[in-house]
Structure 1
Amino acid sequence: MRTWFEPEETDAFEAAKDLLVRRCLTWADEHRLPADGLLLEAAVDARHESRDGRLAYWDDAEISHFLLAWVPAQLVADREVLDTAPEVLRTYLRYLDGTGLLDPRGATVKDAEAAIDRAAAEFPDALDDPARQGLAKFWVQVALDHGVDVTDPPAFERFRRDIDAGRIPYDGDVLDEIMEARLTGRHPGLPQERAFVQ
C-alpha cells in the first residue's frame, strides 16, 4: 500500500486514508484494541501534512507533535473521545507494524509506545492549554457550544453574523491567547511545509 502522497494528490490521498482507517478499525476490533475513526483520520492527516509527508513514519518527535500539538489544535470532539488519542495512536502504530506498513526508518513499536507514554503524561494539559488551540477549532467549538450545526452552511453563516453583532458570547481572553500564539510563532499545531521532494 502506498504511504506517501504529494500535497496536491488529494483524491489519491483521501482514498488511501479511507482504506487505511477502515482496515485499522477492523484490525483493532479483531484484536480488541481501542480505535476511533476521527482520531485515526487525524493521525493520517497529521503525517500527510508534516514536513516529510510519510504516513507510516513515526518517531518520538512525530508522536509528540501529534499528541501535544496536532490534536489540541485541530480536533473538535467530545473530551471523552480526545482523551483516548494516546491509546488510539498506540493501536494505529501496532496495526502499521502488524501489517508491515510501519516505516522502518522511524521508531520501533517498543520505542514508539514509550514515546506515547511520555507524551500521554502531558496530554491532558495540552488539551486544556488555550494557546494550543487553532483559530478554526476555537470558533467551531463556540458554535457547537451554542447548538449550531456546523455542517449546515446557512446555520453557520447566521452564527457568524450573530458573533459579529455581539449576540453570542465567547471567551475573548482565550481568543487573544490563540491569536498571540499564532502571531508570535509559538502555535505548535500549525501545518508544516514539506521539506523536500520524496
Structure 2
Amino acid sequence: MSTLHFKTGEATVFAADGQYTDAMPEILIGNVDGPVGHAFANMMGQTAGHTRMFAIRACNQMVKPATLMVPKVTIKNSATINLLGGVVQAATADAVLDSVIEGVIPRDLVNSLCIISLVWLDPQCVTDPNRDDKDLYRTNYEATKLAIKRALNDEPTIEELIANRHTIKHEMYDPEA
C-alpha cells in the first residue's frame, strides 16, 4: 500500500436518542503528490459559508496524515464554527491518529498521505439546549474511523453491493412508501 492514488470511504453513526448529533463523514485519502493532494491544496482557499480547517488534536498538534475538514452544510453562525472547530475537529483528529496507532493507516505513510473529510453537523444540533457534546464526539470519532477503514479496505465490495441491492434501503427514502 505504498501508493494510494484515490481511496474513498463513508460511514454513518447515529446519535443517541433525542440528540441531533449524527455523523456522516465522507473521506478521500491519497498521496500528497496525486489527485487527492492536488484537491487538498486547491481546497485551502476559503469559500463563504464553508470554512475549511485542519484536523488538530490541540493547538500546535495537527494530526498526520494532514486532514482537511470541509463542512457539508453552510455555516451561518459562530456557534456552528465553534462546534466544528471544537468537538468535531477533536473527534476527527483523534480518529485519524488512532487509525495510525491501530495500523489501519500505515505509519510509514503518514507524511506522504492526506485526507479530505467532508463533515456533517445537523443545524438542529447547534441550537439544541440538551445537546450532548460527548455524543457528538462519539458519533464523529466512530464514523471517521469507520470511513477511513472502509476507504483503505475498498469497502463495501461490489459483491456486497450487488448482493444487497434489493434488501437494503436508504434510511431516508423508502420507494414503497
TM-score, structure 1 normalization: 0.26
> Who wins on radius of gyration, i.e. which is larger?
1
TM-score, structure 2 normalization: 0.29
Q: Give the structure, 1 or 2, with the largest relative contact order (CA under 8 Å, sep 6 or more).
A: 2
Structure ranking higher in helix proportion: 1
Structure ranking higher in strand proportion: 2
